[in-house]
Amino acid sequence: KAGVTQTPRYLIKTRGQQVTLSCSPISGHRSVSWYQQTPGQGLQFLFEYFSETQRNKGNFPGRFSGRQFSNSRSEMNVSTLELGDSALYLCASSLEGLATEQYFGPGTRLTVT
C-alpha cells in the first residue's frame, strides 16, 4: 500500500511569512503526528492528531498549529516564520497512535531566509 506522503518536499520562505505543510497518511491510519528535525535540537515532537482531534502536544509555541480532516489527511501551519524554524518537518501515521508503529514520510525541508 502507498506510504505516507508529504507536500511540498522543499520550501523556501521569508521571515515573517506563514507556511502550510500537508501530510497524507497511510490508508486506514487514524493517527498523524508531526515532528521537527534540526541538527541542533534533533527530533522534536510537535503534536499528534487522532480522528480530527489534537490528542497530544509538544513544547512548541502557538505559532505552530495543525489540523486533521475527516479523511485523516493533516496539515501543519507555522505563522510568523523565524529563521530558527528552518528544519525538516516529518509527518508520521499510525493505526492507533504513538504507542503503535509509526510510518514516517520523507519530510518537508523548510528554509526560512
Maximum distance among all Cα pairs of the chain, rounded to whole angstroms: 39
E strands present in 1-113: 5-7, 10-13, 19-24, 31-38, 42-50, 53-57, 64-68, 74-78, 87-94, 103-104, 108-112
- Nearest approach in angstroms of CB 1 to another protein is 15
User: Any bridge partners for residue 56, and if so which?
Assistant: 48
Nine cell digits for residue 50: 487522532
Count, residues near another protein per rule CB under 8 A: 25
By CB under 8 A, tell whether 45 contacts another protein. Answer: yes
Q: Which of 21, 25, 35, 85 is close enough to bind another protein by CB under 8 A?
A: 35
Site for another protein in 46-85 (CB under 8 A): 48, 55-59
Q: Which of 43, 52, 80, 111 is close enough to bind another protein by CB under 8 A?
A: 43
Of 14 and 62, nearer to another protein (C-beta) is 62
Of 22 and 104, nearer to another protein (C-beta) is 104
